[in-house]
Amino acid sequence: MPELPEVQTIVSDLKKVLPKLKIRDVWCDFKKMIKQPESFAQFKKMVIGKKFLDVKRKGKNILINLSENKTLLIHQKMTGHMLYGKIDPQDRFIHLVFTLSNGKHLALSDIRKFAKVLICETDRLDTLKDIKDIGPDPLDKTFTFKKFKEIFSKKKGVIKNGLMKQEIIAGIGNIYANEILWEAGIHPFKKIQKIKKEEFEKIYKAIKKILKQGVRMRGDSVVDYRDAFGKKGRYQNFHKAYQKEGEKCSKNDGGIIKRIKETGRSAFFCPKHQKL
DNA sequence: CCCGGCGCCTGAGGGC
DNA sequence: TGCCCTCAGGCGCCGG
């Protein structure tokens, strides 16, 4: 499931190959994924002939900046991922394909069809809910401890849910939330209001450390994530908590990783060193 | 306003 | 073998 490191990997890949190429054609077999403009015919008209200028990320959103003041926003949701290169026409999970001026393709593969795509005027991007209603990016230089603590100390609920709320902080999903809290030594269900300053410091450091590590490993392919060239990431080999239920905590503290389901999501943690 | 729960989707995996 | 159930979880939406 693409979270910040997976999205960042795709964005870096695409940034290397897309700029200066043009869109020759576009094909789609699941038009529902296109949220804006209204019809696929309009979408097609808006992108054909446009040139790729830049590729960016905001939270889990991929922003592909095109010529003539257009930006493609892509959210990969659970199983979506962008692919660049020669696309296998037999691949039934590919639902959107751009044919590029160099003869290659840019495609969106998505088993579960949750991904969404939209076009926005570049200078109106900030008016989009997807952009304006999300919190700061945890890897941004301006995301300081002061800012982190300031944002979180106002929030209610438990820490793991807070970390996963995009309107508070943008980019963290279930895998990294579990890993961050394992690293920080904080129980996933600890109430935000009960978290002390030193604990906030540990969480802050863990956010930076774990997300950077995820980026370095080119993402987490525990399910079906691939980079823009179809290669797996490596972060799944470094999980300490996520999907480690029943295993010994790698801190060797005698804890056995426990799993608790709440509101559809699994929390994984070590009951020994992650205290409430 | 906030919180919980459901719907969107489909493949994998377990039980029988 | 094959059917059916559950699970995976990002996020929009709805209702209490």
Pairing of strands A116-121, A34-36: parallel
pLDDT tens digits, A189-199: 999 999 999 99
A84, burial (CB in 10 Å: exposed 0-12, middle 13-18, buried 19+) = buried
Q: For A222 and B12, how far is CA from C1' in angstroms?
A: 13
Domain span at residue A177 reads 145-236
Structure pTM? 0.95
Which helix H or strand E contains A48, and what residues bound it? none
Residue at A14 is within a domain: yes
Q: For A51 and B13, how far is CA from C1' in angstroms?
A: 45
Residue at A254 is within a domain: no
- My answer on whether A83 and A200 are in the same domain is no
Q: Which nucleotides of B are covered by protein (CB under 7 A)?
A: 2-11
Q: From the Cβ of A75, is strand C under 7 Å away?
A: yes
Q: In this structure, what CATH number is given to the domain that contains residue A215?
A: 1.10.8.50
Calculate the CA dihedral of residues A194, A145, A211, A115 and round it to 10 degrees. Answer: 80
Question: What's the confidence (pLDDT) of residue A265?
Answer: 81
pLDDT tens digits, A221-252: 887 788 999 898 999 899 999 989 889 999 99
Q: Strand (E) positions, chain A?
A: 23-28, 34-36, 52-58, 61-66, 70-75, 80-85, 94-100, 105-110, 116-121, 258-262, 265-269
